Amino acid sequence: MMQKTMLGKTGLEISRVTFGGIICMDEAQKDADRFVSHAIDAGVNYFDVAPSYGNAEEKLGPAFKNYRSKAFLACKTTERSAEGARRELENSLKTLQTDYFDVYQMHSLSEQADIDKAFAEDGVMRTIIAAKKEGLIRNIGITAHSEKVALEALSRFDFDTVMFPFNWALNIGKGFGSELIKACKEKGIGILGIKSIAHRHWREDEVRVYPKSWCKTIFTHTSEEEQLGLCAMKHALSLGVDSLVPPGNFTQFEFMVKHFDECAANPISEAELAYLKDCMPEEKEYIFAI
């Protein structure tokens, strides 16, 4: 069964691989049901979704409802106002057929303006703090793509979780995420790692094998691709990530679940780190600008 770990100071003992609800987006309900059942059977007990993922909530709600008592559910809001966030929170609770979220996150903090709006008198944080007092959410987190913005958010509030791109190429090439990892460890904040097996930007006219991914993830169809994927996972674990969040497709979710124990038992070696350095994309092809 999937290894578990404590998610920071939340008290939640979660699976080391997360089920990203975007996997269910645009899938037939029977397939969404199958994906969730497979995850539960594999020991995955942490599920994360957002209303910005198309119809993912609509598909995940019915698929997940019978497992609610044995698994944790996280959701997000991209709203920055208190009123908008309350509306989105209530709709997510209804759509996902649950009375509460184990973790609720301010989603996609990218600019200082996001922080300023969120912490304003009529900002989203007012709704989130109130919702926690009401028992609608248990823990409060953020997701971000800017390390500077994430660190600024942590300086303003005692968040419980951070979801962030702890990506091998960005970290090796730019040290991206290292300062944030350190801050999270010092504060006892749970760390959820996205983009661990992201590779680079899609190139013009390139066939997009996994259309739900806005960047090219590492394919795992050949032995060489599999080697790169395993090394990328090991690199994220070496940074101290609590749970890896796979890209939005079931194939790569299966890959990460299947190989997690192998990666955890065999930490990244100097030879594997050198291999990753040899596989680095050009800086212009990093998955997003720093």
pLDDT, mean of residues 16-25: 98
Give 44's pLDDT tier (boundaries 50, 70, 90).
very high
pLDDT 10s digits, 47-86: 999 999 999 999 999 999 999 999 999 999 999 999 999 9
Residue 118 has pLDDT above 90, yes or no: yes
CA distance 37 to 41: 6
CA distance 59 to 30: 9
Give 289's pLDDT tier (boundaries 50, 70, 90).
low
Contacts of 155 (CB under 8 A, 6+ apart): none
Any domain includes 8? no
CB atoms closer than 10 angstroms to residue 99: 8
In the chain, the amino acid numbered 140 is: I
Q: What is the model's pLDDT at position 1?
A: 85
Residue 242 has pLDDT above 70, yes or no: yes
Contacts of 95 (CB under 8 A, 6+ apart): 51, 57, 58, 61
Which residues form the domain of 50?
A: 13-282
Any domain includes 262? yes
Any domain includes 182? yes
Any domain includes 99? yes
Q: pTM value?
A: 0.97
CA distance 97 to 58: 9
pLDDT, mean of residues 210-223: 87
Q: Is 53 one of the annotated active-site residues of the chain?
A: yes
CA 169 to chain centroid, in Å, comes to 17
Contacts of 279 (CB under 8 A, 6+ apart): 228
Measured between alpha carbons, how far is residue 64 from residues 21, 74, 160 in Å? Answer: 10, 12, 24
pLDDT 10s digits, 266-287: 999 999 999 999 999 998 898 8
Number of domains the chain contains: 1
Any domain includes 5? no
CA distance 249 to 254: 9
Any domain includes 287? no
Active-site position among 53, 100, 104, 275 = 53
CA distance 142 to 121: 19
pLDDT, mean of residues 93-107: 98
**What is the domain-level CATH number for residue 144?**
3.20.20.100
Any domain includes 6? no
Any domain includes 94? yes
Residue 250 has pLDDT above 70, yes or no: yes
